[in-house]
Amino acid sequence: MHGLRGFTLIELLVSMAVLGLVLAMAVPTLSQSRRQTEVKSVQARLLNDLTRARTDAISRGNPVSLCASSDGSHCDGSWNGWLVFEGPVPNTTTAVVNPISQHSISAVAVTANRTQITFASWGVVDAALEATLCDGRGELSNARALQVSALGRARTSVDADNDSVHEAPSSGSALSCG
């Protein structure tokens, strides 16, 4: 007659050690993936809002602007978020705008050559915009870029050579974070 036999203490400890090693290898990969997804998501939202601003300017026959905003109601030049609204950007950072859409971001750092852009009623912009988006750690492998040409067309960065590093839309040169 065979009795029931359980695991020995050594077998349990070895199993726990193997599980610990697997988790230790998986957690950094999951964290990296999460940061990369956050940057991609912000890039997609910004691209969507820039495209929408251009479309709205053309369909409404009025200028539509996008500006950097930290509080969701003022164009204060801080890329902690942005606002899209009808009309030109106010001359003062204290003027409240009525947004068509607004977004706030926290885990992604945005640097740009400008803090605002206005689409004319025929779709062109007052000046081109180039922005780089990086994760909170400044890891180049997570960097993405976005550009709006003087004609008002927005496009994003691509990894043309499949080296996991995105190149700027205009020059094809590698992006930099920080």
Domain ranges of the chain: 9-124
Q: Could you tell me the pTM of the whole model?
A: 0.80
The secondary element (H helix, E strand) that includes residue 27 is helix 9-60
pLDDT band with cut points at 50, 70 and 90 for residue 4? low
Q: What is the pLDDT of residues 45-69, one digit of tens each?
A: 999 999 999 999 999 999 999 999 9
Domain 9-124 has CATH 1.10.3470: no
Three-state DSSP at 51 gives: helix
CA distance 61 to 84: 16
Residue pLDDT, tens place only, 146-156: 999 999 999 99
pLDDT digit string, tens, across residues 75-130 = 999 999 999 999 998 888 777 788 888 999 988 999 999 999 999 999 999 999 99
Amino acid letter at 116?
Q
